[in-house]
Amino acid sequence: MLELILIILGLKALWIASAMLQALIEAHYHDMLYYLDRKHKNLHWAYTCLRGVVLIALVWAVSGYVSPANTFIFAVSCFFSYSFFHNGMLYSTRNNLNSALYQKRWRASKEAGDNRNSANVEISAGFRTAMFVVSILLLIAIILDSYL
């Protein structure tokens, strides 16, 4: 049982690290463009493809240890937790780089402004937190289902 728990938590930790690393990269990229006063194309399609590749790799890895249904639940759990860590890190980093932006830091929601380069879906801080709690419950369900 301990082995499965460590594998699931380790893969989930990789997902969280990926979300936070991508947020750091995006925050510095957008900050650089802001100070250079440069416009750019919306790159969220590329970010989504990168997230998909990481998720597919993690789902493939977990599929060797749990049932197909629990593999799907793991993918949903990753999906639900992504925004909590990604947006939290993104908004905190943007605030570190420019204190006028995202003053609530991790708890911030998207600020009003130019929407040409924004994500297709904006999720409030409260909803991100609720999704993260659900993702934890889904991980617990996978572990319990594997041993009951």
pLDDT given at position 71? 97
Determine phi and psi for 60, rounding to 5 degrees.
-60, -40
- Lowest average pLDDT, out of 78-82, 86-90, 96-100, goes to 96-100
Greatest extent of the chain over all pairs of C-alpha atoms, in Å? 58
- Name the residue with higher pLDDT: 103 or 116: 103
Residue-range domain boundaries for the chain? 2-17+44-110+118-147
- Lowest average pLDDT, out of 24-28, 32-36, 102-106, 110-114, goes to 110-114
Q: How much of the chain, in percent, has pLDDT values that exceed 70?
A: 86
- Nearest C-alpha neighbor of 120 from the set 47, 35, 22, 13: 47
pLDDT given at position 111? 64
Q: Predicted confidence band at 148 (pLDDT cuts at 50, 70, 90)?
A: confident
Please give, one letter per residue, the 3-state secondary structure of the chain: CHHHHHHHHHHHHHHHHHHHHHHHHHHHHHHHHHHHCCCCCCCHHHHHHHHHHHHHHHHHHHHCCCCHHHHHHHHHHHHHHHHHHHHHHHHHHHHHHCCCCCCCHHHCCCCCCCCCCCCCCCCCHHHHHHHHHHHHHHHHHHHHHHHC
Q: Given a cut of 70, is residue 135 above it in pLDDT?
A: yes
Q: Given a cut of 80, is residue 146 above it in pLDDT?
A: yes
In tens, the pLDDT along 110-125 reads: 765 545 445 656 788 9
In tens, the pLDDT along 55-77 reads: 999 999 999 999 999 999 999 99
